[in-house]
Amino acid sequence: MNSGAEQKYAYTWPEALHHLKDRVIRALKQPQGRGNRAWNRLEVQVDGRDIMAWLQGQTLRPRMYWRQRDGFYECAALGCLAMMTDEGACSLPDVLSRIRSQLKHSARGIKFWGGCAFDPQNLDDEWRGLGAFRFVLPRLELYREGQSYFLACHFSCGADRVEDTAEFFDHIKDPCPASGQGRPCLTGSRTEKHVPDFLGWRKNVNDIRMLIRQKQVEKVVLARKTSFTAFDDRDVFDWLNAVEANHVLNRHYLFAFQWGEAEAFMGASPECLFSRNGRNVHCEALAGTSPRGETGQQDRDFHLKLRQSCKDLQEHRYVVEMIEKTLGPCCHVLNSGKQPEVLSLKTGFHLLTLFAGQLNEGITDQDLLSRLHPTPAVAGTPTQTALKLIRELEPFSRGWYAGPYGYLGAEQTEFCVAIRAGLWTMNRFSLFAGAGIVRDSDPVSEWEEVNYKLTSYLERQPAEAGGRPG
């Protein structure tokens, strides 16, 4: 339990909300009791509930959702006490430095939620609402650690008005009971458009392969944008619920960031960029992909084929070498697996190498972000050459797709790589996925790889969902 907890049992929801509101207002009326903290935090333990359903029922914005990959930590965040963006020509290093300074002088447990664009030099109007980066300190969090649930409120003594805080609490809706009937699927949806289509995809893959043969680049990750239209009134959490309904996710981050009424970013990513707990840091190389089989024998065949695939092992090696080169100087201890293991997910297999290190003094989250993003798993190698080719060849802006998304805290920080992700605007959903192109890549195989990376969002089969190349 984080700072500000006091009771030894879980309150019912009305009790918890009333008790927390009363404690926060009393603290605001006596600011001297909180010292010189930038931000304060109070929380109470509450009885268990469906966290995503609670967040979906709220009318306040922004709304943020995060479920950790191992499922132990889940958080719904609501409202905005402070926001850091690229508006006013603010740079990301400056903003991260400000956040670090504020966290240093704030209560324990406070986190800024948000993320960054994959390539800030390539943003179009579709991503204008999010910008190059955006981090939010929410007013309220409902979160779960294991089987324990907590309700937490953030506030600033001397800055927050009692009247505004009371009004905020009055807008909090009661939790919706879990239906127990499963999540809605994406029925009533149709594939609208693939950008690029297969002909454009095949040309881009072949162009990259030619540049690889000419030794101008070693690997480039190409992405595809697939747009869907829903015929009924769904919001971003209906889409997120559908991911859970279609596939019981294992080892996936599940996240959503809705900053206005009509726009939200969401995804289900298997990939960790880095997690930091104190001075301990963990990250991973996740590159090299294979589908699952329809039978146990096919599964074993695909598993073995991935382990022996020169193409996939080469693709994976680029990411391992990059992490060793960039993270190594940040750590006085850095350990990793000698050989990649095969990670088994519901939708496919991936080659995986884990890294664990102890950070040198003075290394910040800003240092880790700038060194690790973008990895060759989402950009390519050499990085700047790959980024230049992505800008030239992809007929759309990736926006926040494949960028870092997560939270910044004084004690802990964690970012996933926002792959298998999409941008929701009212009843339209633009979904993004990619594939690493190396010398031995085949355009048809890479197209099909993108298809089955999208199956978590669809009730259809991969070939049916993505169209058969021809």
Cα–chain-centroid distance for residue 289?
20
177 three-class SS: coil
CA dist 21 and 155 (Å) reads 11
Neighbours of 39 (CB within 10 A): 21
| CB distance 53 to 71 below 8 Å | no
28 three-class SS: helix
Q: Identify whether 374 is preceded by a cis peptide bond (ω within 30 of 0).
A: yes
Is 271 noted as a catalytic residue in this protein? yes
| CB distance 187 to 82 below 8 Å | no
- Say which residues have a Cβ less than 8 Å from residue 215's Cβ, sequence separation at least 6: none
Nearest to 5 by CA among 48, 33, 43, 40: 43
Per DSSP, which regions of 156-236 are E strands?
A: 189-195, 219-230
CA dist 405 and 141 (Å) reads 18
Q: Is the dihedral of CA 113, 118, 121, 125 positive or negative?
A: negative
Is 219 noted as a catalytic residue in this protein? yes
CA dist 144 and 51 (Å) reads 8
Q: Which of 21, 219, 225, 453 is catalytic?
A: 219
CA dist 405 and 385 (Å) reads 24
- Say which residues have a Cβ less than 8 Å from residue 96's Cβ, sequence separation at least 6: 364, 365, 366, 369, 408
Neighbours of 183 (CB within 10 A): 16
Q: Is the dihedral of CA 14, 16, 17, 19 positive or negative?
A: positive
Cα–chain-centroid distance for residue 248?
18
CA dist 368 and 404 (Å) reads 11
Q: Which of 271, 394, 414, 449 is catalytic?
A: 271
Active centre residues (catalytic):
219, 271
